[in-house]
Amino acid sequence: MNQAILARNARKLLRNSLVNNRSLASISSAPPNPNSVGPFQVFDRNAKRLQKDRAASRAGGERSRTVDYVRDAVADTMMERLLDIKRKFNVILDLGSGPGHFSKMLEPSITKKVVMLESSEKTLHRDPDSEFDVEVDRIHADEENLLETIPRNSQEAIVSCLSLHWVNDLPGVLIQIKEALQPDGVFLGALFGGDTLFELRTSLQLAELEREGGISPHVSPMTDSRDMSNLLGRAGFTLLTVDIDEVKVNYPTMWELMEDLRDMGESNAIIGRRNYIHRNTLAAASAIYKELHGNEDGSIPATFQIIYLIGWKPAPTQPRALERGTAQTNLKDVL
């Protein structure tokens, strides 16, 4: 079947079937994890840890280093936001640090020390201390159970660079972050948003519908950007800032994209996921991807939507809005 016919069938399937895709998704047969923070589990945290361990170990870590480009770009943008905060910290906690994409950018003028907390031990120790400009402390622990490792009211600043999209109970983890912060402590985070890899997601869904008559989840569900302000507010943060950016990366084909996702440790970790995809389904997905989303030069784009977050733990010294009716200037006089 040539690409034009395949794409035409894909569009038809998209119109007729995509609305009902949720009922065709595979159901998890895995038992619930009693160590989860919240009542719902979407991700297999142990599988994710193993994926990240394997990614950091492949070719002595070199394969992992070659795909740091997305996290390095996001870490650089986060650093710009941190520099807007005119404060020097004694210690910054890097939650879900990976090998230290953000921590490597810290300088002595910003903080004396960084504590990296990461669930994947091999990822945590991938890069030596010599690559950091500040003192480094490494903690191998699960980000979902932060308060089991970090005392309450102990941190001046907590950052998280592209880790929180893998936690099962995001509201619960945000509450733990707020509890771990000192009063007037700041949380600075970045996580993948709901439009991340939408090209890959739709191509795989359409290929499975066309070849197998149903779909399974292959790309992890992401947080909707519209929910993040609510979640931060419910967690007890104040002085909120939420903004969205996109990182677009071009690949020769879908195969190179999937290989890079594996080396990033970003493979599928949804509970109930299929362990394999038929090769003819993947071939169909590759053709659909190129037909529906391909660039003129024959490459294919992949979109990474990034949600940036800033929230502060409440403190009496923070600026607050005046009470209604206490203004001293009439708006009519200004206008």
pLDDT digits (tens, 9 = 90+) for 150-166: 999 999 999 999 999 89
> Domain range for residue 96?
3-16+40-314
Contact (CB, 8 A) for 48 and 166:
yes
With a CB cutoff of 8 Å and minimum separation 6, the contacts of 78 are 102, 159, 161, 188, 190, 308
Q: What number is the average pLDDT over the span 181-204?
A: 93
pTM for this model (two decimals): 0.81
Identify the pLDDT of residue 214: 64
Residue among 157, 140, 158, 159 at smallest CA distance from 149: 140
Q: Where residue 243 sits, what CATH number does that domain have?
A: 3.40.50.150
Q: Taking 70 as the threshold, does the pLDDT of residue 277 lie above it?
A: yes
Strands (DSSP E) found in the chain:
89-95, 111-118, 135-140, 155-161, 181-192, 238-251, 300-312
- Residue 34 covered by a domain: no
Task: Reduce the DSSP state of residue 215 to 3 states and report it.
Answer: coil
Distance CA 140, CA 161 (A): 16
- Residue 234 covered by a domain: yes
- Residue 92 covered by a domain: yes
- Residue 320 covered by a domain: no
Identify the pLDDT of residue 33: 47
Contact (CB, 8 A) for 320 and 210:
no
Integer-rounded Cα radius of gyration of the chain: 22
Contact (CB, 8 A) for 184 and 313:
yes
- Residue 26 covered by a domain: no
Structural domain count, the chain: 1
Identify the pLDDT of residue 52: 94
Query: What rounded mean pLDDT belongs to the chain?
Result: 85
- Residue 325 covered by a domain: no
- Residue 27 covered by a domain: no
- Residue 58 covered by a domain: yes
